Structure 1
Amino acid sequence: MPTRKSDPPKAAVGRALQVLRAARDLKQEDLISSVSRRHIGRIEQGHQLPSIGMIEHLAEGLHIHPMTLLAVAYARRFDSASVEKVLKSVRADLSKLLPEDGS
């Protein structure tokens, strides 16, 4: 999993946005509704870290869950093994935090 030293959050989210946009065969312009192409470009270039609201907006434009964008941001590569490693870590964290009976 990337650390702040190896992959700053801004760069990781921007890289994930680029990868997922390419996987959906979308252009930056395809994500524009209430955000400018320049803003999307700044996020993808790692100059700006998107807010949670912006992550939700971008995920909606990509037709994915916002956690998908974040999982890809924290994966070392865009492949199933890297993404699964992130998801396994999240599941382990949640299993320690959630009550045993699921309530």
Structure 2
Amino acid sequence: MDTRRAFANSLRQVRKARGLTQEDFSDISSRTYLSTLERGLKSPTLDKVQALAETLSIHPLTLLAITYMQLQKGKQLSSLLELVSREIHDLNIKASQE
């Protein structure tokens, strides 16, 4: 499975888990565009991922974490989060104070 397909599956799963329809995203996107995302025909921008996550009432990283969990079958969420935490720590990246 490629990243676009994994994101498509994740978006659809979360939308359905929240009990939302594609029409519920009309403030941020057309139903046609959402359908193309859910079929893996297009990839969203970071701004669009943010807007989708807000409509889903989740953090954008949650949507991306679900996507990468699908890509790395068998990898537990805790392993993925530990990896990300370790990489950020090793890079010595701090939150911007702007």
TM range (shorter): 0.7 to 0.9
Deviations 1:15-57 (A, max 9, x none): 1101111111111111221310110110011000000011001
Cα root mean square deviation, aligned = 1.7
Counting only pairs closer than 5 Å after superposition, residues 1-103 of structure 1 correspond to structure 2 as: 7-76=1-70, 82-98=76-92
Deviations 1:52-77 (A, max 9, x none): 01100100100111111111110138
**% identical equivalent positions:** 32
Q: Match for 2:69: what amino acid?
A: A
The verdict on how the C-alpha distance between 1:85 and 1:22 changes in structure 2, with shifts beyond 3 A counting, is farther
Question: Which consecutive residues of structure 2, in runs of 5 or more, have no partner in the other structure?
Answer: 94-98
Stretches of structure 1 lacking an aligned partner (at least 5 in a row): 1-6
TM-score of the aligned structures, taking structure 1 as reference length: 0.78
Deviation at 1:98, TM superposition (A): 1.7
Cα distance in 2 for partners of 1:82, 1:29 equals 32
Letter in 2 for 1:54: K
Does the CA-based 8 Å contact 1:11-1:45 persist in structure 2?
yes
Number of corresponding residues: 90
CA distance in 2, matches of 1:54, 1:83: 24
Match of 1:3 in 2: none
